[in-house]
Structure 1
Amino acid sequence: MDYSSILKYAMQMELEGYNFFKEKAEKFSNPTSKALFEQLAEVEMEHYEFLKEQLDSYEKTKGFKDISKELDINSREIFKKREKTEHLNTTLQESDIPDLTILRMAYLIEKDYAEFYRKAAERADDEGAKKIFEILAQWEDSHEKLFKEEYERRMQEYMNLPWGG
C-alpha cells in the first residue's frame, strides 16, 4: 500500500477543509458564527499537521510515529472531550447561521472525509497506519455529527416558520 500517497491526499483534504471554514468564516457578520468557523479551520489545520508528522516519519523510516502515548486509540470520546473544552456545541447553537447550505456542505464534507479515512483504515496492513486512519475517521465523524444535528435543527425551525416569515 502506498501510504505516502494516501497521507498526501489526506493532507490535501484537510487543507481544503481548512480553506472552506476560513472562507465561510469571512462571510459571517455574527462574531460567534465567525469564531466557530475559524475554530473549526484550526482543527482542520491540526489534522493537517498531524498527517504531516506521520508522512515525515513514514518517508524517513517506513514506519509511523507512535501515537499511543498522544491519543487514547480505544476511546470514541476524543472529539467529545475537545467539544466540551471548547464549548463548540453551545457556540453553534447560540450562533445565528442563516445559511443552511453552508451547514449542509460542512457536514457532507466531514462525512466524505470520515468515509475516506475508514476505507484507508480497512485497507491498511500496517497497524500504525490503521490506528491513524481510525482516529481521523472518529474525528471527522464527530465533526459531521455536530454539523448535521445543527443543520437538522435549523431546517426544522425553517420548516415551521409561517409562510411569508
Structure 2
Amino acid sequence: MSTNRWTSDHLLSEQGVALYSDQIRNIFREYGRDMRALADEVQGHLEEQPIDGDNALTRRLHAWMVARHLRDMAKSAQAVMDSAIALQTAFRKTRIELPQARAEKAAKKELHKARKQLTASPSGVINQVADAASAVVPAQQQPGQAPAAPSQPVMALGDLFQRAE
C-alpha cells in the first residue's frame, strides 16, 4: 500500500482540504483539456475517413456520435473540479464559520441574559425609574374617596430623570 495516498486525516484541517482540492482540480483540469482535444481530433479524423455509404451529413453525424462521449467525459472532469471547489467551501462553512457563528450567538445570548438580570434586580434601572415615577404620579383613588394630597411635592419632568440616575 502506498504512503502517498490521501486519507481522511489529511482532510481535517482547512489547509489539508485546500491542498487536496487544488491537487484534484489540477489533475482533472489536465484530463478535461486532454479529453476535449482528443474529441476534436477524433471527430476530425472520423470526418476525413467516412465509412462506406456515408454522405457529408451522415459522415459528420457519425463522427460527432463518437466524439460526444469524449466531450461528456470532459464535462464530467469539469464537474469534478466544481465539486472540489464545493468541498472546500462546505468545509470552510461548516467547520470554521459555523462554530464561530455559534460562539457569537452564545455570547449575544449571555449578554442578553446579563442585561435582563440587571434590569430585573432591585437596584436595576427599571426599578429606579418606576420608583421615581410612582413618587410623581399619585396613586389611583377609590370611588367615593376624596383625592389625596401628594406625599411629596410634584416634580418637574427633568427632575424625574435626574432622580432615576
Greater radius of gyration (CA)? 2
- Asked if Structure 1 and Structure 2 have the same fold, meaning a TM-score greater than 0.5 normalized by the shorter chain, the answer is no
> Normalized against structure 2, the TM-score is what?
0.31
> Normalized against structure 1, the TM-score is what?
0.31
